[in-house]
């Protein structure tokens, strides 16, 4: 299926990526080629096949409900580009 430049712009917003006009053009043709290739899966009859989300059969894994030491807040915040004593700091949410 062909992907349009409008599709690429819409997905770029969903993906939180800013793309230049040149990148949009290149991405449109490259994604079209890749999606065209993966479209071959539509030839396969998968009626009644159980989707396989994980490589090993997973049951719920429970942990004991006890308090364990966790990462101290200051250490977690230290990896952020901008923070105060308690919070991550970001630009205005509403513009």
Partner 1 sequence: MSLLHHSAVDLLQLLSRREVAAVQLVEACLDQIGRHDGEVRAFLRVDREPALKQAALIDAKRDRGEPVGALAGLPVAVKDLLCDRDQRCTCASRILETFQPPYDATVVARLKAADAVLIGRTNMDEFAMGGSGENSAFGATRNPWDFSRIPGGSSSGAAACVAAAMAPLSIGSDTGGSIRQPAGLCGVTGLKPTYGRVSRFGLVAFASSLDQLGPLAGSAADAALLLEVMAGHDPRDATSIDAPVPRFAELVRQPLSGLRLGVVREHFGAGLDREVAAAMEAAIEVYCSLGATVRDVEMPHARYGIATYYIIAPSEASSNLARYDGAHYGYRTDEAAMLAELAAEQKAAQAAGNNQALGDIDSPLVRMYRRTRAEGFGPEVKRRIMLGTYALSAGYYDAYYLKALKVRRLIANDYAAAFAKCDLIIGPVAPTPAFKIGEKSDDPLAMYLVDLYTVGANLAGIPGISIPCGRSHAGLPIGLQLQGPALAEEKLLRAAHMFQQATDWHKMKALVQ
Q: Which residues bind partner 1 (CB under 8 A)?
A: 3, 7-8, 11-19, 23, 27, 30-31, 33-35, 37-42, 44, 46, 49-56, 58, 61, 63, 71, 75-76, 78-82, 88, 90-95
CB of 67 to partner 1, least distance (A): 15
* Helix (H) and strand (E) counts in the chain: 3, 0
Instruction: Count the Cβ atoms, other than its own, within 10 Å of residue 28.
Output: 19
Q: Are 74 and 86 in contact (CB under 8 A)?
A: no
Token pair listed for 5: 């430049």
Could you tell me the CA-to-CA distances from 9 to 5, 35, 54, 77 in Å, in that order? 6, 16, 31, 33
Nearer CB in complex with partner 1: 58/67: 58
Nearer CB in complex with partner 1: 84/95: 95
CB of 58 to partner 1, least distance (A): 7
CB of 34 to partner 1, least distance (A): 6
């Amino acid at each position: 299926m062909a992907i349009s430049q409008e599709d690429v712009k819409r997905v770029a917003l969903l993906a939180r990526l800013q793309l230049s006009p040149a990148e949009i053009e290149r991405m449109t043709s490259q994604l079209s080629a890749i999606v065209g290739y993966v479209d071959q899966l539509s030839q396969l009859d998968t009626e009644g096949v159980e989707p396989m989300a994980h490589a090993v059969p997973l049951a719920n894994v429970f942990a004991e409900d006890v308090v364990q030491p966790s990462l101290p807040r200051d250490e977690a915040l230290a990896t952020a580009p901008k923070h105060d004593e308690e919070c991550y700091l970001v630009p205005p949410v509403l513009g």
